[in-house]
Each structure stands twice: as C-alpha cells, then as structure tokens.
Amino acid sequence: MGKNNADAVLSQFTQAIEEEAVDTSRKLKVGIIGTGWIAESHIQSYKNMPDVEIVAAADLIPGKAEAFMKKFGVEGVRFYPSHKEMIDSEELDAVSVCTYNTAHCAPTVYALEHGINVLLEKPFSVTTEEAVEMMRAEKKSGKVLSIGFQPRGDENMQMIKKVVQSGVLGDIYYIQTGGGRRRGIPNSTFIEKSTGGIGALGDIGCYSLDVVLNAIGYPKPLTVTGYKSDFFGKNPKYATPDKFHTAEENAARFSVDDFAAAFVRLEGGIILDFRISWAMHADTPGDTIIFGKEGALRIPSTDCWNGTFTSPMTLYHDVAGKQVETVIPLIPHRGPGLFDIKIRSFLDAIKYNRPAPVPTSEILYNQAIIDHICKSAELGHEIKVEIPEI
C-alpha cells in the first residue's frame, strides 16, 4: 500500500472512532454569547457534533446574531439582545462565551449561577479578581467551566509536557518563553481598553505562558516584575487600517499593550523570563527554551505566536559524556481540528462528569501572571502575586 493510501485509510479510521464514540441519545442545548469573529469557530465545531442542538444566540449589536446564524445556515435559533435575556428565557445545557475580554466575567458568572456549563474564550479575564469571581461561581454551581485554549489539543504541545515529565531535562530551573510578530496588531475590539482590556498579553501572551506552565504542572507564581509598551499601536506610522477605521483612527483608539516582558518567580525556585509582541523591529523576541539540570528543550519561535508550532524542537543533553542534540520532529496534525477537539472535550466533560479539559485552577495562575505584569508595569517595580481565596 502506498503512503498516501495508508494515510487515507488511517485518517478514515481516526474519523470513524471519533464519530462512533459520540452518544446521541442525549442532545445538549447550546447557546452562543457574542457572535463575533471567534464565535465562527465555535459554531462550525458545534455543527460537527451530532449530540448538539444550537438553540439560542445573543449579541449586543442588533441583528448581528441573526446574520451570524444565517451565514452558517443554522435554523430555528432564538435571538437575544444580551446574555441576560438569553439565560433568563432559555433552558440551556451549555453556552460558549465569545465576548471580548472585558465582557468575559459577567456572562460566565450569570450562566453558572443559572446552572449552565460554560466554555469561555481565552484569555480567562482581564484581572485576577474577575477570574476569582468566575471560579467562585463555578465552585458554587458544580458546573463545568473550561477555558478555550485549543493549542492544548495539539500533539506538539502535548509533546513538550511529555518531554518535561519524562525527566530527561532533570529539575527545571529557568524558562524563557514568548514570541510574537514583527507586525501583527489585530485591530477590531482587541485594541481598546474598554473591550480588549489587555493587548498582546491577553491575545497571544496567554498561549505562550500556557505552553510552558502546562508542561511544568502550573506552579504558583510568587513575584512579578513586569513591563509593557505601546509604541507601535499608538503610532499612525505603524498602526494599520481596518474595514471601519483609518490607520490614524486605530492609532488614536489604541489603549492596550503591544509588547510586554516580565521576570516571574514561580514556586519551586523556577524563573520565568517572558516576552510577547504584536509588533516590533525584529522578527522574534526569542525562542522558548526550558532549561533543566540535565537537559534543555528549545521550541522555535513562530512569527504568529498563537500556540502554533512550525518547526522541530531540539533537546540538548549529554550522552556518555558527549554533548548531543536530539531533534524532535514536528508532529503533523491528524484527525479532528483543534477547535473540534476543544468543543468535543468540553461536551464530554458535561456528559460524563469529567473535569474541565482546560481547568480554571491552572489558568488562574496564567491570568494572575498577566494581571500582575500590568500592575507591576504601572508601579515600576517588582510585586508579590496576590490571589484571593476561591
């Protein structure tokens, strides 16, 4: 059998397993809160799930949710002007909260208080306090609250954790992570404080942090020295136009970070050295490297840095007294897409009483680091990480 034939047979087999595993005897009623850009990925994945009925959608902008469902050919949906009216009127099993960052907390808390499971888009929130408020509602409700980090479904990301946990690196003592784009400010609702709340930090920084913190088991952050800047977003020379605004208008709207860096002390004596960028005069602020007492793992930076992997990782270690490098090849993605994996694992957590696939207990630390970078940057010195009791 030729390689292509073998691949085709294998991918059909993978598909068949996924489809067979779905129990359609119980359909889950799902609503979408916020029908903007990312909601498109949610709706496409929900449509692929045979045990889901999309019954409701809400958006603050009149007519937006209706046009959205029409675009995706979903019929029989009821529409609402905000999350409140939708939750008050519907009997839902689950909602996807796809609102901009500053509107993550209120719909999530309201849904959990009404006994509805929530898949919340990343980043968790803007502040630590909001994350804590959502976790308190989660705890009280006993429902699933999962955060939308789809790179967790990527085998390359899973490989990083496997390498660390295999012990080949020995004890980890220092990690440099981050990445970003030479130019790549997303505009839209991402660039205003009132909607995005945080910029590159929340958009792509949360992924960079998750790649390494997930690998080392999410130790608690203890102190943070943070820095952030906005030299590109605020400059009409570097700002970019979009469908609704000129470059000058976007520069005037820009009120979040386009670059951030931090020195973070984690529990267990591990140091995290972090940089993230939406725009800069270089193509990368550095690769991700995990330094252990017995080896180091280099994960090449990508120009996009949204949790994608584009080239092989290298393991540096000593074998029989010789310094060697082992290349860990990129694992090509097979089977369902990352968004389908994200949605399926959330639905299965609800149906089979499993823990949230991306638990808040982990992402709380991710969010606390981001929030404390902002606080430290404003104060201009190192600060202790304060996280209220859940």
Binding site residues, ligand NAD, CB under 6 A: 33-39, 58-61, 64, 82-83, 98-101, 103, 107, 121-122, 148, 150, 188-189, 203
Q: Residue with the closest Cβ to ligand NAD?
A: 36
Nearer to ligand NAD (CB atom), residue 83 or residue 265: 83
Structure tokens at 197: 């709340």
Residue 11 CB, nearest approach to ligand NAD (Å): 24
Structure tokens at 96: 């996807």
Residue 88 CB, nearest approach to ligand NAD (Å): 12
**Helix (H), strand (E), coil (C) string for 271-305:** EEEEEEECECCCCCCCCEEEEECCEEEEECCCCCC
Distance in angstroms (rounded) separating the CA atoms of residues 15 and 4: 16
Nearer to ligand NAD (CB atom), residue 188 or residue 235: 188
Nearer to ligand NAD (CB atom), residue 190 or residue 218: 190
Residue 276 CB, nearest approach to ligand NAD (Å): 14
Residue 291 CB, nearest approach to ligand NAD (Å): 29
117 in Cβ contact with 143 (< 8 Å): yes
Q: In what order do the strands lie in the sheet with 172-180?
A: 322-328, 313-319, 295-299, 288-292, 172-180, 270-277, 259-266, 221-229, 383-384
Residue 378 CB, nearest approach to ligand NAD (Å): 22
Nearer to ligand NAD (CB atom), residue 42 or residue 372: 42
343 in Cβ contact with 44 (< 8 Å): no
Distance in angstroms (rounded) separating the CA atoms of residues 166 and 219: 18
Nearer to ligand NAD (CB atom), residue 13 or residue 37: 37
Distance in angstroms (rounded) separating the CA atoms of residues 252 and 239: 9
Residue 56 CB, nearest approach to ligand NAD (Å): 11
Nearer to ligand NAD (CB atom), residue 266 or residue 356: 356
Distance in angstroms (rounded) separating the CA atoms of residues 256 and 194: 9
Nearer to ligand NAD (CB atom), residue 35 or residue 360: 35
Tokens 């638990």 locate to 359
Residue 22 CB, nearest approach to ligand NAD (Å): 23
Distance in angstroms (rounded) separating the CA atoms of residues 152 and 136: 24
Tokens 């949230």 locate to 356
